[in-house]
Chain A
Amino acid sequence: MKKIMEIISYLALVLLVVAPLLFYAEKITLELNKTLMLVATIAWFASALCWMGRKSES
Chain B
Amino acid sequence: MTEEKQEKHGEFEREPVPVSKTRGLKAFVGMYAGEHCAGTELMIGPLFVAAGVSAFDVLGGLFLGNLLAVLSWMFLCAPIAVRARLTLYYQLEKICGRNLVTLYNLANGVMFCFLAGSMITVSATALGVWFNFPMPGLNDLLPNSVGWVLAVLGIGTIISVVAACGYDTVSKVANIAAPWMVLVFFGFGIIGLRQFIEVTGAEVNSLSSLWELCTTSIWTGGDPLPGQIKFTFWHVTFFAWFCNMAMHVGMSDLSVLRFAKKSWHGVASASGMYVGHFMAWLAASILYALQLHMDPTNTNVLPGPLAYRAAGVAGLVCVIVAGWTTANPTIYRAGLAFQAIMPNKSRFAVTIGTGLLATLAGMFPAIAMRLLGFVAIYGLILMPMGAVIFADFWILPKLGLKQYYAEHRSLKMNWAAGIAWIATLTICVALVLSGKPQFQIYFVSLPGWFIASALYIGLSKLQQKGEA
Contact = CB atoms under 8 A, between A and B. Distances in A.
Contacts, number: 68
Contact of B183 (A17, A23, A48): A17
A13 to B, nearest CB: 6
A53 to B, nearest CB: 5
Interface residues of A, number: 26
A38 interface: yes
Nearest to B317: A41
A17 B190 CA distance: 9
Contacts of A44: 180
Place the interface of chain B in its size category.
20 to 34
Contact of A56 (B175, B184, B186): B175
B191 A41 contact: no
Given A13-B183, A24-B194, A37-B184, A53 B176 contact: yes
B311 A37 contact: yes
Main SS class of interface, B? helix
A45 B186 contact: no
B312 interface: yes
A54 to B, nearest CB: 10
B312 A13 contact: no
Interface string A9-39: 0001100110111011010001101110110
Contacts of B315: 34, 37
Given A16-B187, A17-B187, A49 B176 contact: yes
B318 to A, nearest CB: 8
Contacts of A13: 179-180, 183
B186 A20 contact: yes
B193 interface: yes
Contacts of B179: 13
A16 B176 contact: no
A40 B176 CA distance: 14
Nearest to A24: B194
B5 interface: no
Contact of B191 (A12, A30, A48): A30
B314 A24 contact: no
A52 interface: yes
Given A17-B183, A44-B180, A38 B191 contact: no
A49 B169 CA distance: 11
A38 B175 CA distance: 19
Contact of A34 (B177, B186, B190, B314): B314
B294 interface: no
Which of A19, A20, A34 lies at the interface centre, i.e. has the most chain B CB atoms within 10 A of its CB? A20
Interface in B150-196: 172, 175-177, 179-180, 183-184, 186-187, 190-191, 193-195
Contacts of A40: 314
B395 interface: no
B313 A16 contact: no
Interface in B307-323: 311-315, 317
Contacts of B177: 45
B190 A23 contact: yes
Interface of A: 12-13, 16-17, 19-21, 23-24, 26, 30-31, 33-35, 37-38, 40-41, 44-45, 48-49, 52-53, 56
8 contacts: A13-B180, A17-B186, A26-B194, A34-B314, A37-B184, A41-B314, A52-B176, A53-B172
Given A40-B314, A56-B175, 14 more contacts: A12-B180, A17-B186, A19-B187, A20-B190, A30-B191, A31-B312, A33-B311, A37-B187, A37-B311, A37-B314, A41-B314, A49-B176, A53-B175, A53-B176
